[in-house]
Structure 1
Amino acid sequence: MKAILVDDEPLALDYLERQLNKVSNIVVVGKFTNLIIGKETTLLEEVDVVFLDIEMAGVNGLELAEQILEINSSLSIIFVTAFKDYAVKAFELNAFDYILKPVQLERLQLTLERIEKKLDDQISQPLSVNQILQINVCRELTFYFTKDKVEIIHWRTTKAQELFLYLLHHSGKAIRKSELIDILWAEFDQNKAYAQLYNAIYHVRKTLGKFSNHFSLKSVPDGYILLTKNALIDILEWENRIVAAPPISMETVDGYETSMDLYTGSYLQEYDYLWVEPERYRLELLWTNVAYQLANFYYEQGELKNARIWYVKICTIRPEEENAHFSLMKLFAILGNDKLVDYQYVQLKNALEELSIQVSPNIRKWYDQWNQNKTISKP
């Protein structure tokens, strides 16, 4: 393994180098009291591990770490600190590997063994070069290279996952650090909030390391930008197809059915993120509009079975949709299925009562009239 050491104390650098020299399978290829990222890009691309002092004069070790990982997301960063209490506070989520000064040889060997294991795992993992990564965000986040075979993603914290999803939500757009803190760590004071941000960025980079051919997380002035390549996002693919589709007809309806299959649930519906709700609502309305078009088209064509399927789908995803319930009631009345008419009315009534809303007068009037006619027609 190749390592570089960063510490603003030359004596500490020399001591750590001597300790590392006692360990096999590692060579120190650089020592810095002031690491200038822009001048050492080539070196950082080649090394396996960076030992980094977290408390250096005028330098935020956490921020420096995420800048290093932007250049080489696969390397390991080991923080070195003289203060145990500080380490416990800074790494309360156990986010980073760290060792305490003075560096003990036994502790150092354990750390390096873990790094070696990680490097072996990376070598054994198949590369995804030229493969298309399918990113599903309907219902919940999943990655696929092959259909029906989920790529396992281990997020160190829920905040790291939410950070990734927020950046993916704004893919291709620079997001300021202050915005991320307002969204994710508003309850923390500024110093701790920034530490949490760098912590999460670190883990997003590490988690995405396996998918380096598909994601690029870059630092920009006072912010970050997530770029995707060789990747398809299901909800975007669905929306693009729907928006570009011609009007529904006998010739195009099968294409609509195929496109609507891509929408397997509401946008990130398994996550209670407030920032998701406006986009989730917009996409649900778009889906509902197209679902109504399909249901009404089938109804007009006399294909009542297919019409029923789409009205039921609307009622399932949006139980408060009166028009879908009403259409089913009228469809069941045509089919002479009185029990299902009653059932659908009760379903609508219950769904609206949960929202403290009453059934619309025109639907109540229709239902009452239908009941009267049903009673009159009985012998």
Structure 2
Amino acid sequence: MKCIIVDDEPLALNDMERQLKKLGGIEICGKFGNAKDALDALDALQPNVIFLDIDMPVMNGLEASLHFQEALPGARIVFVTAYQEYALKAFEVNALDYLLKPVLLPRLAQTLQRLESTAGLPAQTNADPSGVHTVIRCFRSLSVEYGPVPSQLAWRTNKAQELFAFLLHRRGQQTRKDTLIELLWPELAPDRSYALLYTTVYQLRKSMESAGLGIRILNTKAGYELMTDDILIDVDDWERRMPPADETLQNELQYYESWLEAFTGDYFEEQDYEWADTERRRLRVLWYRYALRLAVLLEEHGMPAYGLDWLYRVQSRFPYSEEVYFLIMKLHAALGENSMVDQQYALLVKMSEDQYAHPPSAEIAAWYAARRPDHSSSTPNP
């Protein structure tokens, strides 16, 4: 297995070379301080793996990765950067992995294991058959982005957007025309509603064709089916990259955190489609459970302040979860921050009375009462 390293920082370039040599099992056939030089040498070197910095002058790593994939489709991209906010963008171009600087040796070893496990498999691509880079976003707001400089597919009407969203929601399945009529135009006479359905489908097809997308709406005997082929859909990609349930290694926590941060909002949150409620709740619960688990892991690995930060993030998204208040209280107590315990308990009492018309659970009330002698502050007044 051969690799090249691309980084505009000489120290980072040499450090990656040193660590790869220490691990062994991979040949370094080139080092480059910019993406252009690496692209020029690609044909001669034919690397299997490209370790690629993102924040570089002239051509950044995200842009360069598209050129690398076009010139050498079988090569795997591993991004190496100091900025975790690039994580989602990196995954959108199907990077095999994403390493945060400074790169830890055990974490790099895991990347090499992933490379070995995928050796011989064809590299995936996010490009549709027309070669236009396309991403369908479902988190927070539905959008279809395409092109090297992303443009958004325009929706002729709100009904056109919802029709696309519903077909996307049921991708890979046939959706009956009468189901779509009942969803979108239940108040209209059949002849009028069917005419609107046919017109809306036609307009969607023309818009996608004009944008050069590889998304198709197929006719079936009774309805329609949306075909997205290999186009990246952020929700699917997010679940595919879910950390293993038994992952507890400290050097995986950065990946864990960047994965959670890729959940940028609820499923079709801004559109608020009622038919998406079940999937919206499922994804929310998934994020909730993993975010709480990350907070616990951060505390276990000696980073309680980061754990608290994640608990407060969960609380902002789930303000009526008694469990989150309790976890925050216990972690503040472990850190000796008694006033913060009082503050959270007061907020919990108010939330419980306002939302549920009853006080906090007996378990939490007993825990709080039991620790009162441990400090001198008075009982909080919510």
- Asked whether 1:366 is paired with 2:367, we answer yes
What is the alpha-carbon distance in structure 2 between the residues aligned to residue 132 and residue 142 of structure 1?
A: 14
What secondary structure sits across from 2:298 in the alignment?
A: helix
Distance change >3 Å, CA 376–CA 267, structure 1 → 2: closer
**Cα gap change, 1:142/1:299 in structure 2, threshold over 3 Å: closer, same or farther?**
same
Counterpart residue number, 2:320: 320
Q: After TM superposition, list the pairs within 5 Å mapping 1:154-169 onto structure 2.
A: 154-169=154-169
User: AA paired with 1:293?
Assistant: R
Identity of aligned residues (%): 33
Cα gap change, 1:352 to 1:154, in 2 (>3 Å): farther
In structure 2, the residue matched to 1:144 is 145
Q: CA deviation at 1:128?
A: 9.0
Partners in 1 of 2:219 and 2:204 — Cα distance? 13
Q: Report the counterpart of residue 340 of structure 1 in structure 2.
A: 340
| Equivalent residue runs for 1:216-235 within 5 Å | 216-235=216-235
Q: Secondary structure at the match of 2:239?
A: helix
SS state at 1:139 partner: coil
User: Structure 2 regions of 5+ residues with no counterpart?
Assistant: 1-127
8 Å contact kept, 1:218–1:224: yes
SS in 1 for 2:316: helix
Name the structure 2 match of 1:260. 260
The corresponding residue for 1:34 is none
Question: Alignment length, in residue pairs?
Answer: 251
Distance in 2 (CA, whole Å) between partners of 1:368 and 1:311 is 22
Which amino acid is the alignment partner of residue 338 of structure 2? D
Q: Structure 2-normalised TM-score?
A: 0.60
Residue 326 of structure 2 contacts residue 364 of structure 2 at CA under 8 Å; is this kept in 1? Answer: yes
Provide the secondary structure at the position in 2 that maps to 1:143: strand
Read off the aligned partner of 1:341 and give its amino acid letter: V
CA distance in 2, matches of 1:364, 1:214: 57
Q: Partners in 2 of 1:317 and 1:146 — Cα distance?
A: 33
The residue type equivalent to 2:157 in the other structure is T
Relative to 1, partners in 2 of residues 1:258 and 1:243: Cα closer, same or farther, differing over 3 Å?
closer
Q: In 1, are the aligned partners of 2:146 and 2:213 still within 8 Å (CA)?
A: no
Find the residue that maps to 1:305 and give its secondary structure. Answer: helix
Check 1:377–1:217 CA distance in 2 against 1; reply closer, same or farther (3 A cut): closer
Contact 1:172 1:227 in 2 (8 A): yes
Mapped to 1, the partners of 2:160 and 2:354 lie a distance apart of 35
Q: 1:39-50 maps to which residues of 2 (within 5 A)?
A: none
The answer on whether the counterparts of 1:128 and 1:211 sit within 8 Å (CA) in structure 2 is no
Q: 1:352 to 1:280 in 2, by over 3 A?
A: farther
Q: Residue by residue, what CA displacement relative to the aligned partner does 1:130-160 show, whole Å, maximum 9, x if unpaired?
A: 243122111002333479x652332121111
- The answer to whether the 8 Å contact 2:132/2:147 transfers is no
Judging changes above 3 Å, is the alpha-carbon distance between structure 1 residues 246 and 333 closer, same or farther for their aligned structure 2 residues? closer
Structure 2 Cα separation of the partners of residues 360 and 206 of structure 1: 57
RMSD of aligned Cα (Å): 2.7
Contact kept, 8 Å, 1:248 with 1:294, in 2: the verdict is no
Whole-Å Cα distance in 2 between the matches of residues 338 and 259 of structure 1? 32
Q: Secondary structure at the match of 2:356?
A: coil
Which digits, 9 at most, give the CA deviation of each residue in 1:275-312, with x for residues without a partner? Answer: 01000001111111111211111122221012112211
Q: Structure 1: 5+ residue runs without aligned partners?
A: 1-126
* Letter matched to residue 141 of structure 1: L
Q: What is the rounded CA distance, in whole Å, between the counterparts of 1:291 and 1:235 in structure 2?
A: 17
Q: Is the 8 A contact 2:130 2:212 kept in 1?
A: no
**Which residue of structure 2 lines up, in the alignment, with residue 271 of structure 1?**
271
What is the one-letter code of the residue matched to 2:176? R
Aligned counterparts, 1:143-292, within 5 A: 143-145=144-146, 150-242=150-242, 247-292=247-292
Deviation at 1:243, TM superposition (A): 6.4
Instruction: Kindly report which structure 2 residues correspond to 1:11-50, keeping only aligned pairs within 5 A, or say none.
Output: none
1:64-111 deviation per Cα after TM superposition (whole angstroms, max 9, x unaligned):
xxxxxxxxxxxxxxxxxxxxxxxxxxxxxxxxxxxxxxxxxxxxxxxx
Distance 2:342 2:308 in 1: 16
CA distance in 2, matches of 1:248, 1:210: 47
Find the residue that maps to 1:135 and give its secondary structure.
Answer: strand
Aligned to 1:69: none
- Compared CA separation, residues 371 and 230, structure 1 to 2 (3 A): same
C-alpha contact (below 8 Å) 2:142/2:271 kept by paired residues: no
